[in-house]
A and B are shown apart, each in its own frame.
Chain A
Amino acid sequence: GENVEQHPSTLSVQEGDSAVIKCTYSDSASNYFPWYKQELGKGPQLIIDIRSNVGEKKDQRIAVTLNKTAKHFSLHITETQPEDSAVYFCAATLNTGFQKLVFGTGTRLLVSP
């Protein structure tokens, strides 16, 4: 079955710096890769996703890149702000219509003013 590894487990940056979180998946058949942000006491919130037919996707300060050959995908946050502080999860799944997300273990991002 699918396995997703996520690094680093914690990341501390200064406001305005960039942050990069990396994930590796095991099942080469996976073709949908969402990223979720989870704030304390809340459920995960989808922030961006990418499908395997695309190498990069950007939405304002957030971007995701996908390397299918290496089975790597990464989240890039530029110009970080204190409100970006949260736990971020990557996930992978097959496009079977019966979506079953396999999540990474999460990255706690702390953005200091």
Chain B
Amino acid sequence: DAGVTQSPTHLIKTRGQQVTLRCSPKSGHDTVSWYQQALGQGPQFIFQYYEEEERQRGNFPDRFSGHQFPNYSSELNVNALLLGDSALYLCASSQSGQAYNSPLHFGNGTRLTVT
């Protein structure tokens, strides 16, 4: 049973460029969340997708956008990259429709470096 998979594992981009990160959720999961983890910090919530719609968003600018596909996989897009966007980007999946929060399962992340 594959867990959450993310690609690519590492990425180097230049300021001003755009980047797309990809995520496949754990089998049986239909909800995908994205987090940004700066070096030495805890993950910070970017947004969450369910039924192909963004249903909750954290304090991130509109440069950060996403998409969820019918197979539940997801993409995170970041436009006009800044040096401060350098971080580990984590995808987490969960199962909706439960009375209580379904535990989040994280992938190993994509390390983005902006130069």
State the A residues within 8 Å of B (CB). Answer: 4, 6, 32, 34, 36, 41-46, 49, 51, 89, 91, 93, 95, 97-106
Residue of A nearest to B107 (CB): A43
For A97, the chain B residues whose CB sits under 8 A away are 96, 98, 101
Min Cβ gap B29→A in Å is 12
Query: Contact mask B91-109 → A, CB, 8 Å, 1/0?
Result: 0001010101111111111
Would A43 and B58 be within 8 Å (CB), given that A99-B102, A105-B41 are in contact?
A: no
CB pair B55–A46 under 8 Å, yes or no, is no
State the B residues within 8 Å of A (CB). Answer: 4, 31, 33, 35, 40-45, 48, 50, 55-56, 58, 90, 94, 96, 98, 100-109
CB pair B100–A102 under 8 Å, yes or no, is no
A51 vs B109: C-alpha distance in the bound complex, in angstroms? Answer: 27
A97 vs B45: C-alpha distance in the bound complex, in angstroms? Answer: 15
CB pair B104–A106 under 8 Å, yes or no, is no
For B50, the chain A residues whose CB sits under 8 A away are 98
CB pair A106–B56 under 8 Å, yes or no, is no
Among candidates B35, B58, B90, B104, residue contacting A34 with C-beta atoms closer than 8 Å = B104
A89 vs B48: C-alpha distance in the bound complex, in angstroms? Answer: 20
Would A34 and B103 be within 8 Å (CB), given that A42-B108, A43-B108, A43-B109 are in contact?
A: yes
A99 vs B32: C-alpha distance in the bound complex, in angstroms? Answer: 10
A100 vs B43: C-alpha distance in the bound complex, in angstroms? Answer: 11
Min Cβ gap B65→A in Å is 18
Would A101 and B104 be within 8 Å (CB), given that A43-B4, A44-B43 are in contact?
A: yes
20 residue pairs A–B, Cβ–Cβ below 8 Å: A4-B42, A6-B42, A34-B103, A43-B4, A43-B108, A43-B109, A44-B106, A46-B104, A46-B105, A49-B103, A51-B100, A91-B42, A95-B100, A98-B56, A99-B31, A99-B33, A99-B101, A102-B45, A103-B43, A105-B41
